Structures are given as structure tokens and as C-alpha cells.
A and B are shown apart, each in its own frame.
Chain A
Amino acid sequence: MSLTPLHAIFALMSLFTVGGAVGVVLNRNLIYAAMYLVLSLFGIAGLFILLEAPFLAAVQILVYVGAISVLITITVMVTRCVFCKEPPPRQLTLVAVMAALVMVTLGFVIMTRFGGLTPAADVPADSIEQLGVAFVNPQAYLVPFEVASILLLGALIGAIFIARDDLPRDEEAVGGDDHA
């Protein structure tokens, strides 16, 4: 099996993904951990491009890096003790061993059940258009499409409900001339 540039790029993207994930877990500094998370998400976007799914890569960057990383970083930055050099958790070795066990088991199951490596199927040129048609096709994905919108509605209502007590009330608001 000769080494093609595609292999090299795949190796690089996997390095970003896994290396970033390792950096998130092991880094003492929370801000650096958030930056490693962004690197990991970029790696996943790269993997999507290699799988000829550019739409998913763009969605990954738009939603994960653009929105979720921002949320996580904002939360991390208002945590009081970002630089507290806590000692590493005592169970680190045990956790590492368990993670390795899970990886070996999953790898074994995937390689034997799914026949190992298979050649990638051909991706049609108008895959995004077909996805759009499938979204509103009652025999295809119409119900999950609408349920997704209801799920998003529920998520937003839940978040507002939880944050409701922290929001300033009308009586405390000074009308119009005191803004942070």
C-alpha cells in the first residue's frame, strides 16, 4: 500500500483531532484547553472534507468552532480560578487504562463486524440538493426535520427557564441610562 498525499493529510487531521483531545484533557491551563478543543474540532472538519462531505465540514466550523467553542470559552473565562495549579487527579492512571481498554474493544468490534477497510462510495455532485429534497420528503427525513425544530425550541425554553432566576428583574433595572 503506497503512501499517497491523501494518507498524509488524513494522518495530519487525525493528529489534530486526537492530539487536540489529549491536550484538552491533560492541560492545566483552562484557556489552553479551550484552544486545544478548537484544534480538535478543526481536525474533525478536515476529516469531513476528506470524506467528501464539505457541507458537514462547513457546518462543523460554523456551529462548533463558531458557536459552541465561544460558549465554552466564555464560561471558562469567568471561572474564578483558571490558573489554579491543582495536582493531577489521583485516578489518572486508572482512567488512562480504562480509556485504552475501551479503544481496543471498539476497534476490535469495528474491524471484525464491519469488514475492516472498505472503499468509499461515490458521492454525487448534487449531494446537498438531494439532502434538501430528502429533508422535506415525507418518506425520508421530514419528521426528524420538524422534530429537530421542536427540539431546538425546547432547548431554548429550557435554557431561558434555568437562567431566569439570574436575569435582572424589572424593578432593579434603571430605565435607560445605566448600561454595562
Chain B
Amino acid sequence: MPDLFTVIDDWLVSLLTGWGASGLILDIILSLIGSLVVVGYLLTLALFIIWFERKVVARIQDRIGPNRVGPWGLFQNVADVLKLMTKEIVIPSGADLIPFLLAPVIATATVLMLWAVLPFTRNAIGTDVSIGVLYLAAVSSLGFMSILMAGWSSNNKYALLGAFRAVAMLVSYEVPLILMLLIPVLLTGSMRINAIVEAQSIWYVFSMPLAALIFYIANHAEVARSPFDLLEAESEIVAGYHIEYSGMAFATFYLAEFLHAFTISALTATLFLGGWRGPFVDQVPTLGIVYFFIKSFAVYFVNVWARGTLPRLRIDQIMDFCWKLLVPVSLLLLVLTVIADKTALQFFSGYSVGGTAIEMLPRSAVLFGVNLLVAGIAVVSLAQQGRRDREADLYPETAVD
């Protein structure tokens, strides 16, 4: 059965060439249609995502959540958007207007641009650039400037302080993120995202669970959700760097944050959970989009679950967790993975680096063993460190400096 997206694409191309478009104009018109479709569906999805989150967090907190506006409260967010659109955007005195209004625009734009390289099915991808994974990392890092602009242009000490803390935290968690982004690239031999999905006959979460976990935790911190949401903690720094935003500008930041959370869930699903792969996807390619969304929502559910359940961490705990645990463990994992993989390739004859699920089984087993080893080392050293800290507290005289 042909892919639905290929059918639509071919029909559009024939329609446009019938009207006389060709070459670059054809590309531009197709890209424009594609962009509008992507942005439109993402904004609609955002309404659904926010509803989903509010309902799940409410149930975790033993209450019902929005249930008045529309069936099961589905139109609550529409009502919220309409309300925010009619509120005044208060420009604080002394604020710089252009960076003030540009910051939410850039924050949303960077999230929307991430979707250019995520594949929905084998053939439905915005553009399969040869540097897909690095494009993801690069576009994520564009968000830092928008935070600094927001903090600075508000002309508010707390906003500036919040912006610095936010950037320090986000920048720290970018390191384990890009280190663990290396792992799918390593195992596939290409940075193209469609290539990474095609190579996952055994999902990478099964062969490298620790890498998937570190990648997911780093991503969770990148979107600054609880337990890492110190940046907008009401009791500490009163909404951090978007303290002076109101009305539609605030709504844009809010939207960008939720959309970012869903985007990183989709990212994790694509890079580690096999993206559009699933049973019967060769015969009916359009099923790919169904699997993609099921996996993304599953990861998003874990995201919301963690957000609703875990307590907030202190900023120094967050930083220590990143630099003293995640980064050393990522480096150790990277080193041991490549050494184990290459030596196994040299000495085992049935060891293949690509192919069907059965062929990949030895490699997955070796990599899984390495993951277990590194996880064990991490847990043991954490336990020893914990014991040293406890004894230093209990017996201060005998503590070794």
C-alpha cells in the first residue's frame, strides 16, 4: 500500500506543475504548504497537549482538572487563549521594546523549527538534512539568547537574576544532552534522523538504556520542568525571567514551554524508541504516524508524571547532579561502549553492526551489558559518596578532608 503522504505529495506536485510552477518556485510553494501544515497542526496539538497535562496532573493531585468548557474540558485552552488575547500586554517602564517582544517570538520559533527534521513516517519528513542530529542540538541552543533577552529587557532585577540562573542551568544540561546524542549517531553511522530510525531494528532503548535515560533526564531539564523548574518557582523568584510578561506575550512563552516538552518527547521517541517503526509498517507505511504519536505521548506521559510527582530540586543540587554525575557517567559510558563494541567486532564472527532484529541481537546484548556495568559503577560510587557524607555528618572529628 502506498504511503498517504507520498500520494498527497505527488498530487500536489502534479497540480503545481500543471499550473506552470517549476524548479525553485515549486520547491518554495511545497515548502510553504509543508511549513503551514506543520505549524498549524503543532498549534492545534498544543491545545490538546496542555489539556492532557492538566488532566493528568490533576488526577495525580487527586482532583479532576478542567471539566466545564466542552466535553471533558477539552476547550478549556481555547477559552484561555481567547482570554489572554484580550488582556493588556503591560510594558514595564524602562523596558526595551524590541528585545521584550522578540524574546517570546524566538523562544517559540526555535521549538517550531525542531520539527523540520522529525520523521512522521518513512517518507513524511520536513527535510532529511545530512546533519539532522546536529541541527537539533544547534536549534535548541538558540533558545538561550531568547531567555537572556527576556531577562534583560524587563528592566527588573529578579528577571535578570532568573535569566542568568536559567541560562546557567540550561547550558549545563546541554552537555550530557549532546554527549548522549552521539550514541544513536555512533550506532547508526549517520547523522540523518531517518537513517537512525531505519537502523533501529532493535530499539536503541533496549541496547543502550542508560544512554536513553541520561538523554531523557537532560532533555527534561532542558525544558525546565519539575523537578528542575526552579527557574519559575513561585516561592523563590516569582516566575523568573518572564515575571514582567502578561497577556499574549506570556501566552506565547507558556505555549513554547509546553510545545518544547512535547517536542523532546517526540525526539526521544524518534532517536531511542524507533520513531515510526512498528509491526506492519512496511506494508502500510501510513501506520508510521500512528506509532510515532503513540510513542511520543507515552514519553510525554512520563514527563507529566515526573512533573506532577517529584519535588523541586535546589539549584546547587541541580548543578551537582549534572556536572558530578551525569557528565562523568556519560563520558564513561561513551568510552566503554566504543571499546566493547569494537573489540567484540574483532573477536566474534557472528557480530554484525546492522541488519534485522535477529542479526543485531549479539550487539545489543554486548551494549546492554556495558550499560549495566556503567550503571553499576555509578550506583556503587554514589553509595560510597553517600556513606562518606553521612559519616562526615555523624562523626565530624574523624572526617577526612
Is the C-beta of B137 less than 8 angstroms from some C-beta in chain A?
yes
Q: Which of A35, A58, A73 has the most CB of B within 10 A?
A: A58
- B167 touching A58 by the CB < 8 A rule? no
Is the C-beta of B261 less than 8 angstroms from some C-beta in chain A?
no
- The proximity string for A residues 1-20 relative to B, scoring 1 for CB distances below 8 Å and 0 otherwise, is 00001000000000000000
- The proximity string for B residues 306-318 relative to A, scoring 1 for CB distances below 8 Å and 0 otherwise, is 0000000011100
Q: Find B138's partner among A66, A77, A129 (CB 8 Å cutoff).
A: A66
Query: A35-B99, A58-B135 are contacts. A67–B141 as well, Cβ < 8 Å?
Result: yes
Query: A54-B129, A54-B130, A65-B145 are contacts. A70–B171 as well, Cβ < 8 Å?
Result: yes
Grouping DSSP codes into helix (H, G, I), strand (E, B) and loop, the B interface class, with mixed when no group exceeds half, is helix
Is the C-beta of B148 less than 8 angstroms from some C-beta in chain A?
yes
* Interface residues in B, total, Cβ within 8 A: 33
Interface residues of A in 46-69 (CB under 8 A from B): 54-55, 58-59, 61-62, 65-67, 69
Q: Which of A35, A38, A62, A65 has the most CB of B within 10 A?
A: A62
A residues in contact with B314, CB < 8 Å: 179
- A70 touching B167 by the CB < 8 A rule? yes
Query: A31-B96, A70-B171, A179-B315 are contacts. A128–B131 as well, Cβ < 8 Å?
Result: yes
Is the C-beta of B329 less than 8 angstroms from some C-beta in chain A?
no
Interface residues of B in 148-171 (CB under 8 A from A): 148-149, 152-153, 160-161, 164-165, 167, 171
Interface size grouping (class) on chain A: 20 to 34
Interface residues of A in 125-178 (CB under 8 A from B): 125, 128-129
A residues in contact with B130, CB < 8 Å: 54-55, 125, 128
B residues in contact with A61, CB < 8 Å: 138-139, 141-142
A residues in contact with B153, CB < 8 Å: 31
In the complex formed, the residue of B with least CB distance to A53 is B131
- Which 5 residue pairs are nearest across A and B when measured between Cβ atoms? A66-B141, A61-B138, A58-B134, A62-B138, A58-B138
Q: What are 8 A-B pairs with beta-carbon distances under 8 A?
A: A31-B152, A58-B134, A66-B141, A67-B171, A70-B144, A129-B189, A179-B315, A180-B161
